[in-house]
């Protein structure tokens, strides 16, 4: 029996797909010779943008955190504490970015909400981090744009 979800050929009598885990007991067997169900990734552009933005966010987080620690240790300056605080916003932003991207990759439009929130946190970080905060401008627009695009596309994807 071919899995109606992913199209993988499974041995007869099985109750779950060996590839994706879809349960077979409530599903009708597809007609012989019929093509397997096509699985599309409706949020492909958003997933790519979110993934790139999140990966860049990891780098920005490390730069802001290390520079804040160095400034705090060397000068015991207020700017070092702000850079560390800004890095925590970036940390939250890229974690939300990865989670939201994973949701979109599964075809769930609610990941767009997480990407939008992550982009907003990155925007806040760009103003907190003092002289390294400008670096947040390299990732939060990608997260924000991917989230807004996914939310705009969500209705049409769910109706189809």
| CB burial of residue 160 (10 Å; 0-12, 13-18, 19+) | exposed
Domain ranges of the chain: 1-39, 44-159
- Nearest alpha carbon to residue 134 among 143, 123, 144, 142: 123
For residue range 98-135, what is the model confidence (pLDDT) as tens digits? 999 988 888 888 889 999 999 898 888 887 755 566 77
pTM: 0.67
9 has which bridge partners? 2
Instruction: Count each helix (H run) and each strand (E run) in the chain, helices first.
Output: 4, 0
- Nearest alpha carbon to residue 107 among 53, 156, 144: 156
E-strand ranges in 57-153 read: none
For residue range 52-71, what is the model confidence (pLDDT) as tens digits? 988 988 988 888 888 888 87
- Nearest alpha carbon to residue 49 among 151, 136, 140: 140
């Amino acid at each position: 029996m071919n899995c109606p979800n992913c199209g993988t050929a499974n041995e007869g009598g099985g109750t779950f797909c060996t590839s994706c885990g879809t349960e077979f007991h409530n599903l009708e067997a597809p007609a012989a010779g019929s093509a397997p169900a096509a699985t599309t990734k409706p949020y492909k552009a958003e997933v790519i943008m979110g993934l790139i933005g999140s990966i860049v966010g990891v780098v920005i987080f490390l730069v802001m955190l290390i520079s804040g620690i160095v400034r705090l240790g060397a000068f015991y300056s207020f700017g070092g504490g702000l850079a560390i605080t800004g890095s925590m916003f970036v940390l939250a932003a890229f974690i939300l970015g990865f989670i939201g991207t994973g949701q979109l990759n599964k075809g769930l439009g609610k990941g767009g909400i997480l990407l939008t929130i992550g982009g907003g946190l990155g925007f806040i970080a760009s103003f907190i981090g003092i002289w390294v905060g400008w670096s947040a401008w390299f990732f939060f627009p990608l997260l924000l744009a991917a989230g807004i695009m996914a939310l705009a596309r969500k209705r049409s994807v769910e109706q189809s």
